[in-house]
Amino acid sequence: MTDIIVIGGGIAGLSAAARLSADAKVTVLEMESATGYHASGRSAALIEENYGAPSVQALNRASMAYFQEGNYLSQRGLMIVATGDDEDAFRADLDHMGVAEISPSEACGHVPILDPAKVGFAGYHAEAFDIDTDRLMQDFVRTLRDNGGQVITDATVTAIRQDVHGWHISAGADYSAPTLVNAAGAWADLIAGIAGVTPLGIVPHRRSMARLAAPGDHDTRNWPMFFGTNESWYAKPDAGALLVSPAEEAATYPHDAFADDMVLAEGLDRYQQMVTEQVTRPIATWGGLRSFAPDRTLVLGRDAHTPEFIWCAGQGGYGFQTSPAASALLADLANGRRPALDAETVNALRPERLQV
């Protein structure tokens, strides 16, 4: 018997398990054949401290020291570009993201494929960083195993029941523990329902992505990630190529997501309108699921009605960038310790805000 079972082997579950394993024996159950298969394997892998709701921004700030000390970050930068007809949306984005305005010619200097005839406004922020997501997940798994924990793959949960002895879970084999952590991503509400816990309204949303060859054979390594206004599309350098997304959020159901070809084509067209190089056939396309609670912030902590059930869900697109601080908070709440984060942020993340 283990002390804690974590359902979900993405970044949320692995980071939570690693933190919890300092005080307990922890087992992670992952339904796929490898960890990080769904949202965690399809992330844009960027941290920008001003991205997200106030509680997300607080987690971003609290995560930076961990990232820096572990050398998980590399310089990327972030840029917003807009046409001359889109000034109002540009100003709103500038305000929200804390980005400094630069000239269109400076923007074209950062990304030489931008069309100078189309770029009317631009903003740039150097303090945005790529995250070494593979190594981050591997290190969390290593910590878990060093502390006597384990990750079990191909473990699809089919039944969960609770009695006076704790939780009993069927997932190919049978597992038992006094405490259950729900880090199931897009499946979080489904897992809650199976466990007899009231779901919180966490809904997965599809996002499509295309991988393009480096435009015009440019060296993209030092380009920033660049966005259209209202995040109507974004492009990010990646291993000598360019990732382009329509940045859509289409509510859907838990599944192995794939790109919506029509939505992807529309997003690529919006990107195409701002650059000089023609979009050719993508090298690859895929989709991912970003799961949001109704208020679009994370859900971390014990269920108000079933305290042996701990929520670690609703990461949206913020799972990697918040993982060091979110997992530390979860471990503090699970062990009854005073969190390092301020009370306002902690309360904004607790499940009871969504429960009656």
pLDDT at 208: 95
Q: Are 236 and 243 in contact (CB under 8 A)?
A: yes
Name which of 48-52, 72-76, 143-147 the model is least confident about.
48-52
**Which of 1.10.287.3510, 3.30.70.3270, 3.50.50.60, 3.40.50.1370 is the CATH number of 4-45+132-201+294-354?**
3.50.50.60
Burial class (CB in 10 A: 0-12, 13-18, 19+), 292: buried
Tell me, yes or no, if the two domains 4-45+132-201+294-354 and 78-125+203-292 fold the same way. no
264: pLDDT strictly greater than 90: yes
* In the block, residue with structure tokens 């709701």: 53
**pLDDT band, very low/low/confident/very high, at 41 (cuts 50, 70, 90):** low
Q: Which two tokens stand for residue 296?
A: 């679009």
Write down the pLDDT at residue 51: 83
pLDDT band of 276, cuts 50, 70, 90? very high
> How far is residue 228's CA from residue 271's CA, in Å, rounded to a whole number?
8
Say yes or no: domain 78-125+203-292 is CATH 3.30.9.10.
yes
**Euclidean distance between CA atoms 186 and 280, whole angstroms:** 32
Res. 42 pLDDT band, cuts 50 70 90: confident
User: Cα angle at 260 between 281 and 242, to 5 degrees?
Assistant: 40
Higher per-residue pLDDT: 281 or 246: 246
Contact 113, 276 (CB under 8 A): yes
| Domain boundaries of the chain, sorted by first residue | 4-45+132-201+294-354, 78-125+203-292
